[in-house]
Amino acid sequence: MMDILQQLLAGFAIALQPINLFWALVGCLLGTAIGVLPGIGPALTIALLLPVTAQVAPESAFIMFAGILYGALYGGSTTSILLNMPGESGSVMTAIEGNRMARNGRGAAALATSAIGSFVAGTLGTLALTFLAPTIAELAFIFGPEDYFALMILSFTSVAVVMGTSRVRGFTALFFGLALGTIGIDTQTGQSRMTFGTLELLDGISFTVVLVSLFAVGETLYVASRQARTAGVVYPLKGGAWMTREDWKRSWKPWLRGALIGFPIGSLPAGGTEIPTFLSYTVERRLSEKPEEFGNGAIEGVAGPEAANNAAAAGILVPLLTLGLPSTATAAVLLAAFQNYGLQPGPLLFATNPGLLWGLIASLFVGNVILLILNLPLVGMWVRLLLIPRPYIYGGIVIFALVGVWGLSTSWMDLLLMCGIGLIGYVARVYDFPIAPALIGLILGPQAEIQLRRALAVSQGDWSVLVGTPIAATLLAIAALVIFLPFFVAKFRGAMHESKA
Amino acid sequence: MLKRSFLTGVIALAFSAGLAAAEPAKVLIPANPGGGWDGAGRETMAAFNKSGVFTDGVSFTNKGGAAGTIGLAEFVRTAEGDDNALLVTGVIMVGGAISNKTPVSLDNTTPLARMTNEYNAIAVPADSAIKTPQDFLAALKADPGALSVGGGSAGGVDHVLLALLAKQAGAPVDKINFVSFSGGEILASLGGGKIKAAISGASEFRDFAKSGRIRIIAVTGPNRVEGLDVPTLKETGIPIEIGNWRGFVGAPGMSEAGRKTWLDRFEKLHASDAWKETLKAHGWEDAYLAGDEFKAFIKAEESNWTAALKDVGILK
């Protein structure tokens, strides 16, 4: 313990050198910028910068990369909240309550709780990385395919049940996403499915296209169709640029719970930053004292998921640094960066290169502080964007979306898909279907299928394997409870009522 | 919003300006990050940079799955006529395109150079009762379904190797239990004992084996792999040798000038010290073969693999 503290202090000595502070600032700014843009993530950015950074000392390069990794998550929430257009898949859940808050004139509070929550959870995650990494890394070996499958089923059910105005709508959206996810070559057998002989569909439908279509295009069409009635209305700004006492009271627990959910799941090889945000949202909605506010701008629904995705980002570094095991695209690029400098992450790195490693970990703390300092004063400026007349804002969004989708693959098919799915997004908006379950189906559906088939292959077709481990059985039981408990509670209450009468 | 997009635009411009003077290569890696193709693509481009042969920057895209044929389809679809677009390829893609009967194949691309050959390795969890290749064959013969073996995509080298081993053991090839993985997840599954064994590139296992969680029981080349105290299959009396070559192809409709430029670059890279260091660091065997010879080699591989896949019952 003392040893870790000492090394961490040495790490701070490296991270706080002016030149490294400068690189941390560059990384944070870049990360925030790319977080805003759908389709450009930290993995792509770091990969692009690798040749450039070959001239920089390894410590400085990794300190900048850490800033990009964290900064992207801070940036992704801003457009989610203000424009209902998530920049990253980990920010999808933030859009739901965050944008409602912005419409109610509480955009500043939403941005503040997301920035502070990101800071709190990012710092807690980094602390856990510092002190618990080797222990947490063991989770990678405990989780098997059946456990991942159960975790994904839990995400599906919890999200479909809590989101939207009715279960039918939630599940309809979820199955729409799952159906989209089956398009393309099946990775287990190499057979093409639902491609109708089109080469363009062999790769499947890109997540970014669906994200942009459902959110940006659908939303724009909706606003345009209501233009006659709302043209002159500007979202009100009230409550100042800061969180109220009550906001703080309602935010701190979700921050902590979000961090608690995010870090361990982020450290799983197939965990990622999305699942924790789904689960955190569900938990907050269930635990909230004011569940009726959910769907109308509940601050807990922003605080929790934003904390969860930042803690998960710290978690991603656990298997990478302790085992040399890359679990996401970003981690794999970081692994390549280590190898560029002739370093192999893993237990040996702590012994052979403590300066670099502890400098990197210290820079995560520093980066969080920089991002908080960058983001909080900007809150007041960002919310003023809402004062821009809507035709200009939405015109800008559509151009942004078109350029983003075209730039991703330069494919006409993607543009056509964007129009088609955008129309579906509009219909969903008009008839009050939630959008997030569709995206969750698209992200997790293919993964759930692969894990299910792996589990069944290993068990030679014995379905009992799906409840064969305590983790899987527990997660599936919770998933079942999420679906059925409300029925029983309602029935029980009804019975109580009758017996009283 | 507008202000914000200007801000990001300026930042993006500032960054691309540094690169735009030259023309960066766009490398498509047809596998998820962390696997063999990913390493081959990124390390080769890093060696380009280190050797000074090509220093204009690189952007990587990962598009994994289905033995690399998803990436191949994407490449053929999006890179047409782009002289700076490269696709990392290899024997797995050749096999995958055949067994998946994909509508696109390497014939649609412009072959540039085969760079490396890497032999496979068979590994088991550290506490497995399987100690030798003979134990592995015995387990396969006793109950092929019970021995779940992880590997890359269905119909790839790993799958074919398992089928060849089953044939050798006298076990029914259609009963083998091959579980497909893409990327680094196979290491966690093997280390955690979720699968009984795994087949992958020797270099992918080598670094992870140092952690003591997995044990490599055999390598599949003609010679032992440097730094690994593990016998070849041949040494233990199993007459199987199978390798995993990797290389680069250019876009469909690449210009003759573009092709020449890249062939020249690969030739210079191959002669450089930086490349020799990279080969050594990763345990790859030099397998340089460029241009038309590489094209002919791919053709030959296609017919060899069609035969092998039929032989082992993967291709009906």
- In tens, the pLDDT along A275-313 reads 899 899 988 988 888 878 888 888 999 999 999 999 998
pLDDT surpassing 80 at residue B2: no
Claim to verify: residue B29 and residue B86 sit in the same structural domain: yes
pLDDT surpassing 80 at residue A126: yes
List all residues 6 or more positions away from B64 whose beta carbon is below 8 Å from its beta carbon.
A187, B29, B30, B31, B32, B35, B70, B71, B182, B183
List all residues 6 or more positions away from B310 whose beta carbon is below 8 Å from its beta carbon.
B316
Alpha carbon B152 to chain centroid, angstroms:
9
Look at residue B230 and tell me if it is in a domain: no
Nearest to B194 among A145, A186, A392 (CB): A145
In A436-495, the residues whose Cβ lies within 8 Å of chain B are: 454, 457-458, 460
Alpha carbon A189 to chain centroid, angstroms:
30
Look at residue B233 and tell me if it is in a domain: no
Answer whether A336 touches B (CB < 8 Å): yes
Chain A environment of B5 (Cβ under 8 Å): 36, 396, 400
Query: What is the count of structural domains for chain A?
Result: 1
The pLDDT tens digits for A49-72 are 776 676 788 888 888 998 998 888
* pLDDT range class, residue A202, cuts 50, 70, 90: low
**Tokens linked to A216:** 């940006």
List all residues 6 or more positions away from A493 whose beta carbon is below 8 Å from its beta carbon.
none
A462–chain B nearest CA distance, Å: 12
* Contact at CB, A34 and B8, closer than 8 angstroms: yes
Answer whether A270 touches B (CB < 8 Å): yes
Three-state secondary structure call for residue B230? coil
The mean-pLDDT minimum among A28-32, A198-202, A327-331, B304-308 falls in A198-202
* pLDDT range class, residue B13, cuts 50, 70, 90: very low
Report the alpha-carbon distance of residue A381 to residue A78 in Å, rounded. 11
In this predicted model, which residue has the larger pLDDT, A128 or B36? Answer: A128
**Tokens linked to A446:** 């293919």
Report the alpha-carbon distance of residue B71 to residue B195 in Å, rounded. 27
Contact in structure between B205 and B137 (CB atoms under 8 Å): no
In B85-114, the residues whose Cβ lies within 8 Å of chain A are: 96, 99-100, 102-104
User: Comparing C-alpha atoms, which of A484, A495, A491 is closest to residue A167?
Assistant: A484
Claim to verify: residue B215 and residue B125 sit in the same structural domain: yes
Report the alpha-carbon distance of residue B151 to residue B185 in Å, rounded. 11
Contact in structure between A414 and A406 (CB atoms under 8 Å): yes
**Tokens linked to B89:** 């390829």
The mean-pLDDT minimum among A43-52, A74-83, A372-381, B64-73 falls in A43-52
Chain B environment of A336 (Cβ under 8 Å): 38-39, 42-43, 46
Report the alpha-carbon distance of residue A277 to residue A37 in Å, rounded. 19
Chain B environment of A199 (Cβ under 8 Å): 73, 76-77, 103-104
Nearest to A323 among B180, B194, B211 (CB): B211
Contact in structure between A75 and A36 (CB atoms under 8 Å): yes
User: Comparing C-alpha atoms, which of B25, B160, B178, B171 is closest to residue B95?
Assistant: B160
Answer whether B57 touches A (CB < 8 Å): yes
Answer whether A378 touches B (CB < 8 Å): no
Look at residue B227 and tell me if it is in a domain: no
Claim to verify: residue B107 and residue B123 sit in the same structural domain: no
pLDDT surpassing 90 at residue A349: no
Chain B environment of A34 (Cβ under 8 Å): 8
In B12-41, the residues whose Cβ lies within 8 Å of chain A are: 12, 15, 18-19, 32-34, 38-39
Look at residue B237 and tell me if it is in a domain: no
Residue A164: predicted pLDDT = 61
CATH number of the domain bearing residue B17: 3.40.190.150
Residue of B nearest to A319 (CA): B188
Domain coverage including residue A412: 2-500
* Contact at CB, A409 and B74, closer than 8 angstroms: yes
Report the alpha-carbon distance of residue B30 to residue B95 in Å, rounded. 14
Claim to verify: residue B162 and residue B81 sit in the same structural domain: no
Look at residue B236 and tell me if it is in a domain: no
Contact in structure between B115 and B268 (CB atoms under 8 Å): no
A495–chain B nearest CA distance, Å: 47
Three-state secondary structure call for residue A72? helix
Radius of gyration, alpha carbons of chain A: 23
Domain coverage including residue B8: 2-116+243-310
Claim to verify: residue B168 and residue B266 sit in the same structural domain: no
Chain B environment of A409 (Cβ under 8 Å): 74, 78
Look at residue B213 and tell me if it is in a domain: yes
CATH number of the domain bearing residue B142: 3.40.190.10
Query: What is the count of structural domains for chain B?
Result: 2
Where b means 16+ CB within 10 Å and e means fewer, B148-170 reads bbbbbbbbbbbbbbbbbbbbbbe
Q: Please report the sign of the dihedral spanned by the C-alpha atoms of residue A458, residue A460, residue A466, residue A468.
A: negative
Mutate to test the interface with A, among B32, B127, B185 (most CBs of A within 10 A): B185
Report the alpha-carbon distance of residue A143 to residue A120 in Å, rounded. 27
Claim to verify: residue B181 and residue B203 sit in the same structural domain: yes
